Chains A and B, each alone.
Chain A
Amino acid sequence: MGKKMILLGNEAIARGIVEAGCEVACAYPGTPSSEILPAVAKWADELETKTVVEWGANEKVAFEMAAAASFAGKRTCAVMKQVGLNVAADPFMSVAHFQLKGGFLLVVADDPGPHSSQTEQDSRFFAMFAKVPCFDPSTAAEAKEMVFDAYDLSERHGIVTMLRPSVRVDHCRQDVELLDVLPIERPASFEKDVKRWVCLPAHVKINHPLLNKKNDAIREEFEKDFSKYNYEVPAEGKASLGIIAGGISFAVVMDLLTSMGRKDVSVLKIGTPYPLPTKLVGDFIAKHDKVLVLEETYPVIETQIIDRSKVLGRLNGWVPRAGELLPEVVEEVILKALGEEVVSSSEEEYLKKALEELKIAPRKPMLCPGCPHRASFFSIKQALPNAIYPSDIGCYTLGVNQKTVDAVIDMGASITQSSGFYLAHKVDGAERPIVATIGDSTFFHMGLPGLASAVYNKHAFVLAILDNSITAMTGGQSHPGVGEKLRKEDEGRRVDLEGAVRGCGVKWIKTVEAYDVRENKDLVKEAWEYAKANKEPAVLIFKHPCMLLRVEQDKIPVKVDQDKCIGCKFCIDFFNCPGLVFDEEKKKAYIDERFCVQCGVCINVCPHGAILGSNGEEA
């Protein structure tokens, strides 16, 4: 038996990837998948494999890099979050048809809830859409084991294979067994073969039926040879209810049945939701009067069931159609399916009342104290208070707290929305200031095509690139604008942000220190005047390192002069720093030293000069 260690689900998956002999690993960060690639690097170094690990500029880039490495015969993987697969959908759908050479594992992390995403989409549906086999782990340990089988399946059938952990598997911590590396000696050898590697329509006509055949064969295997992932936990005696459960929902159901003391419920676990082993499922259903299907977040197993006459699930309203299947939710669904009453306790009412009386609500996320984005947003709002503020995905989406984020769709859409807003007003002969905000990582991810398009079509708006030298929201990964690679010792080269912007044809471009809120306010105005006069985007790069990078900076202790503060709440409404809070009783702002990091920016925020640097700095 191997050594046991407590690992994060994502570290376990990474360990599996290295143990399985993956040599090329590519990703773009995104919660809840971000820890996988760094852990691949860590394990590879520890186990002394040659595995290369790289962040692509976006998920499509990462997917295609990994795909081609498979064409050359290497075991590869691409890792992303669920919405990342939307970006990589194009190559995913196409590559699904290929007869691959090296094993290709696609890890897509889903986020039911959602906790950190713009959708709750279910990637197993994407697997079904692309006709690609999918593994759905219930625990960290199982996820690691599935990596091996996914590679094996991928190589035997020449097909890309999906592992779909959801957030509770990615971010669970569990004892996991460690093994050694599978010895695979396989030098890169790309054999030219147009029929195999070029997706011409004529080739698809051959490959699509072939893909269907692979699906049939894999379904057969899932019926018979994968009882370690697809198995029944029978009831004692006659079952009052059957439950089919996949992914984390299976784990939740098992703990629930134990704590509820129910022995009259049998459970069929499904670890391979696509292609569904329909015979196995059909036999299970045949044995029961009614069967509840529990899976997150879409009815993927359920829709594949051929005869649903005894099935209780999402399609007929027995299971909530949105949100996470938390233990409390599942308990209620099970009791309902058993025809039993759900009892609520009276004590719970006291707690609810206490929360109301004490005005306690969940704490909303906020930009960190000292965050440069807060300063940038403040300058923008002060310069052009009536502008439309299209924004983007990153820590700076929290600019909503400062009322400087008006519309967000997905990564890169700050720029393209600015174009759309511009056009909507242009057709009326009208004009309105527009200031878009985008992070540096997001700019390299999907900002460039939008900017080139806006220059080409002559759209007037200000683009503020918030350059904090990091991909912060997802925990601090590097990106092309940083230059440093995932493994610090690997050589990378920084792509110059200003140069990239200039290369898109932008003429007005300035890089500023984000903390200089007064000067920057004037520059935002100037940028808009230029954009308006010349009918083209003007770009301001607000530069200052993210607090996560812990770059040394001057410490400027601040205090709020209680006589000068008139209680207007301007600083709370438009600056919104956790270090600056409002005393509702005294009607004055004060510094909360538990959070303040003494960045000193707020000195320039109070219109009444009430925020002072303790060293005498004044606005």
Chain B
Amino acid sequence: MQYVIVGIGGQGILFSSRVLGHIALSRGERVIGSEVHGMAQRGGSVISHFKIGKYSSPLVKAKEADVLLAFDQNEAIRNLHFLKRGGKAIINVHAPEAFENESLKQFLKGRDIELYPIKGYEILKEHMNGRFLFLNVLILGAMCGAGIGNVTIDEVKKAIEDLAPPKHIEANLKVVDLGYGAMAK
């Protein structure tokens, strides 16, 4: 499995790949991935690559990712070329009109790519008092809800229990369910 996770510096995307890594390791699989630190973390575009299986390089090549997890819709569209034919993307959407664009539709159709939009900001505003740093677990929950990404919600929850600071575990688990629910509907 090859994942690409994209967003904006400061959104906390690194935690998502830590969760995926934790799950893979507990299954006894090999993992390798690449993160962005430094300048771009100041609100710039950030990308994280993550591969589970027998790989040597931490980088995902264009047209080879199975799943794209996008914390921002613009970053999602900029990075759709990473998805393989038939790839899937979970996208935190704030302006859904963009997806009506004809050229974009043509591309998605041509590559047979399926999008799973989630209104992350609205959900977190309504249920989590606008604490947008929970986007990472919301998106992981959505991934499970959509039945893509090859991990189960129980595995995600177990990983969060192992990795998150104790006082935040409960809130994190609640948000995973919110994400799951938003997709399973």
Given contacts A116-B37, A475-B37, A578-B43, are A358 and B32 in contact (CB under 8 A)?
no
Interface string of B43-69 (1 = CB under 8 A from A): 111000010000111111111100000
Tell me whether A362 and B33 are in contact (CB under 8 A).
no
**In the bound complex, CA of A418 to CA of B116 (Å):** 53
Tell me whether A6 and B80 are in contact (CB under 8 A).
no
Q: Among the listed B21, B32, B42, which residue makes an inter-chain contact with A395, where contact means beta carbons less than 8 Å apart?
A: B42
Report if A465 contacts B (CB, 8 A). no
Tell me whether B58 and A168 are in contact (CB under 8 A).
yes
Give the number of A-B contacts (CB < 8 Å).
158
Please classify how large the interface on chain A is, using the bins under 10, 10 to 19, 20 to 34, 35 or more: 35 or more
A366 / chain B contacts, CB cutoff of 8 Å? 42-44
Tell me whether A171 and B36 are in contact (CB under 8 A).
yes
**In the bound complex, CA of A531 to CA of B175 (Å):** 57
**In the bound complex, CA of A355 to CA of B77 (Å):** 7
**In the bound complex, CA of A483 to CA of B40 (Å):** 28
**In the bound complex, CA of A350 to CA of B111 (Å):** 11
Report if B106 contacts A (CB, 8 A). yes
Tell me whether B43 and A174 are in contact (CB under 8 A).
no
Report if B136 contacts A (CB, 8 A). no
Interface string of B141-174 (1 = CB under 8 A from A): 0000000000000000000000000000000000
Tell me whether A360 and B44 are in contact (CB under 8 A).
no
Report if A183 contacts B (CB, 8 A). no
Interface string of A256-276 (1 = CB under 8 A from B): 100100000000000000000
B38 / chain A contacts, CB cutoff of 8 Å? 31-32, 115-116, 473-475
Tell me whether A168 and B59 are in contact (CB under 8 A).
yes
Report if B35 contacts A (CB, 8 A). yes
Look across to chain B and name the residue whose beta carbon is closest to the beta carbon of A330.
B61
Tell me whether B61 and A350 are in contact (CB under 8 A).
no
A607 to chain B, nearest CB (A): 25
Report if B177 contacts A (CB, 8 A). no
Report if A315 contacts B (CB, 8 A). no
The stretch that binds B, out of A39-47, A208-216, A246-254, A608-616, is A246-254
Tell me whether A347 and B111 are in contact (CB under 8 A).
yes
Tell me whether A251 and B132 are in contact (CB under 8 A).
no
A327 / chain B contacts, CB cutoff of 8 Å? 57, 59-62
Given contacts A259-B64, A366-B42, A368-B42, are A173 and B35 in contact (CB under 8 A)?
yes
Q: Among the listed A250, A326, A355, which residue makes an inter-chain contact with B59, where contact means beta carbons less than 8 Å apart?
A: A326
A348-366 CB contacts (< 8 Å) to partner B: 348, 350-351, 353-355, 357-358, 360, 362-366
Tell me whether B110 and A346 are in contact (CB under 8 A).
yes
List the interface of chain B (C-beta within 8 A of A).
8-10, 17-18, 21-22, 25, 30-45, 50, 55-64, 74-75, 77-78, 80-81, 98, 101, 103-104, 106-107, 110-111, 121, 130, 132
List the interface of chain A (C-beta within 8 A of B).
4-6, 8, 31-32, 34-35, 115-116, 138-139, 168, 171-175, 248, 250-252, 254-256, 259, 326-328, 331, 345-348, 350-351, 353-355, 357-358, 360, 362-368, 395, 398, 473-475, 578, 593-594
8 contacts between A and B (CB under 8 A): A173-B33, A174-B32, A251-B56, A254-B57, A345-B63, A350-B103, A351-B107, A364-B44
